[in-house]
Structure 1
């Protein structure tokens, strides 16, 4: 095991915002218990001990915090967690801390803490003020853009490593250049774009924020044009999905499960210690167990239910078999698969990806060749 990735939800589904498209609020509502509690120091220490026991020297543990909104656990919890991790860390094992936050309560104390402990901080920001405020609102229904932007400025002023996460709704998809330029304007150069998820019990494409395959395909193509223009001009902007596709074009592995075509790159740890195989599958059906019942993480990583979950992701949608872009797409994220009337698995966004690769592949290959040449040059 080269790296153990743990996605921790210390505040479970609790959140101080009411984003209209929140997939985790939807998942939580579909569990017997919607909120699994705020993580205790006892649960945190059990997690840390089991994590370090699962790796050996020169390997890495990535403690990644998400929600809900993880900062609702309080700064004292994070201080305690980091202290325990530093105290219990075995010789030679590397530790990374990351957090994905809505930025709503970040103040100077949080920013100082993240800087001092070298956290990578992901901040959710859906483009400019009007785009962001349409779906990302607080508990009273008011827009959150000014407060999030202020938090972002606190973080960057302290040289905290920051990336921006934009959820691609139907509205964002219709304004790709506007979204990309607004995010670049913040000064952050590491961007992620993820398609919004429809509610579990609702037909695809029927929510007010729903992203259709047609809109997503158009968005990806236009976003790539903007990104590629920056690359040609020598301006580096990391768009994680595009970076992954460049790596695949180079014949190298990529960093996300959705683009690598395989599940199982991390474990989700809920507030009470419950374990799940994926952030998109934190429902009762896929609960793997609880930290407090384990002597080793191998008990869940090697369990029949975990293997069943992983094996499902190996059975690709039927249209993948003859697809010319198979080695770039690998079927996409399993959460986007559905069963058609004939009983065959299909990817909801298949048409979007086919359109994207047909539009961009020569340029992806050009970037891949340039990166390979640069790598050879650096080795000399």
Structure 2
């Protein structure tokens, strides 16, 4: 177990860090209170979106009053080292596809994970999670690789074991898996239906795009056919998902920035939720976005989001995960100094049993924090201190710091002014959409409170 130490020292925001951000929507002028992500309407603004010095002074005074006790800002300055609440098991060290941009080198992580996970390793990691986690909150066990269903027997065994152990301990144990879906058989689909699974299916658009980026390693037509196999294998699960919550995730490269086209192609397979992730880093020639691509990506994503918002008056659901998640986070006042739970509530377990702060860091000694016999609190603390948004010189004074928090730790080296402008502009789009939706359809947030997006 971890050795107890004194709590880490707080990391305060720079004195020049903005506390507010004014923005405009079609229904008026508004202000975002940055710590706590609270949104207020500005009555009496000039109405043309131009800054008004008197209103700006009033906004600053209100912000100072609301933040007088320092509660919101103070909590965001803390470096908290929580117990793990979720893990991913890298059960497979291989994959049947040869995706051009794969960060995991098909599961082998450039030699760091040469063999698949064994049952004894998976069981020890599950036991460690069940023993350490907060029993009053849900626990999640995820499966990654490579392609997880290359090692399907271990996935099935781990789910059965964790479900039984969780019931005996009175724990709410849930599961997740990221899969290319081409290997799913009837038993796999039944496993996903029969347990609370968040299933993320990797699919990159229409058949030509998908098969160019995600071909089989071997097969007819020089590896072609992965899209057809995906469609065949996932259709029965989409038709009868049971307890599974299924969403598609598309990686967007600079060779294909037409998001509406990709979105429609993926929906045609039967998916009801689709999310997009721009490729920020990858092997040479894999299509990582460059500075000139970010405005194009923003326009494409915003056009698609407007199309989805237009569905709401007729009772349509938001199928674009990027937008749905952003709106729900704004509604609940999401505000965090970290972009994800890496190294905090979330860890990833390599096939050999080592624990890392992130599934993208397998084999990187800088991200290793222990194993299933115990975690090293000092290493976790150092990781969380170094990656706190206040420790990021490019981020600490940005108004979007608690909504973005610097983005993926693994992609920080690829951060540029153009990519950060994309984040800020997308957040302003979502802020405006939130205010407009709150005016025209305030009940939408109550109606969707029970739904989840991965």
TM bracket, shorter-chain basis:
0.7 to 0.9
From the superposition, tell whether residues 109 and 53 of structure 1 become closer, same or farther in structure 2 (CA, over 3 Å): same
Query: Which is richer in helix?
Result: 1
Distance in 1 of aligned mates of 2:279 and 2:447: 40
2:208 maps to 1:130: yes
Matches within 5 A, 1:328-367: 328-338=403-413, 349-367=419-437
Distance in 1 of aligned mates of 2:135 and 2:400: 38
Distance in 2 of aligned mates of 1:348 and 1:378: 33
Distance in 1 of aligned mates of 2:268 and 2:322: 20
Moved more, 121-130 or 368-377: 368-377
From the superposition, tell whether residues 280 and 217 of structure 1 become closer, same or farther in structure 2 (CA, over 3 Å): farther
Matches within 5 A, 1:138-287: 138-140=216-218, 141-143=222-224, 144-159=226-241, 160-173=244-257, 175-199=258-282, 207-234=285-312, 235-253=316-334, 258=339, 264-285=344-365, 286-287=367-368
Q: What residue is the counterpart of 2:11 in the other structure?
A: none
Q: Secondary structure at the match of 1:275?
A: strand
Q: What residue is the counterpart of 2:26 in the other structure?
A: none
TM-score (norm 1): 0.82
Q: What residue is the counterpart of 2:102 in the other structure?
A: 22
Q: Secondary structure at the match of 2:141?
A: strand
TM-score (norm 2): 0.70
Q: Secondary structure at the match of 1:318?
A: coil
Conserved in 2, the CA contact under 8 Å of 1:217 and 1:356? no
Conserved in 2, the CA contact under 8 Å of 1:244 and 1:254? no
From the superposition, tell whether residues 36 and 23 of structure 1 become closer, same or farther in structure 2 (CA, over 3 Å): same
Conserved in 2, the CA contact under 8 Å of 1:214 and 1:352? no
Deviation at 1:312, TM superposition (A): 1.8
Conserved in 1, the CA contact under 8 Å of 2:400 and 2:424? yes
Q: What residue is the counterpart of 2:160 in the other structure?
A: 83
Matches within 5 A, 1:363-374: 363-367=433-437, 374=444
Conserved in 1, the CA contact under 8 Å of 2:89 and 2:350? yes
Unaligned segments of structure 1, at least 5 residues: 340-344
Name the count of aligned residue pairs. 356
Deviation at 1:91, TM superposition (A): 3.5
Conserved in 1, the CA contact under 8 Å of 2:318 and 2:324? no
From the superposition, tell whether residues 311 and 57 of structure 1 become closer, same or farther in structure 2 (CA, over 3 Å): closer
Deviation at 1:227, TM superposition (A): 2.8
Deviation at 1:167, TM superposition (A): 0.8
Deviation at 1:109, TM superposition (A): 2.4
Distance in 2 of aligned mates of 1:4 and 1:370: 38
Q: Secondary structure at the match of 2:216?
A: coil
Q: What residue is the counterpart of 1:119 in the other structure?
A: 197
Unaligned segments of structure 2, at least 5 residues: 1-81, 450-454
Conserved in 2, the CA contact under 8 Å of 1:56 and 1:93? no
Query: Alignment RMSD, CA only?
Result: 3.1
Deviation at 1:374, TM superposition (A): 4.9
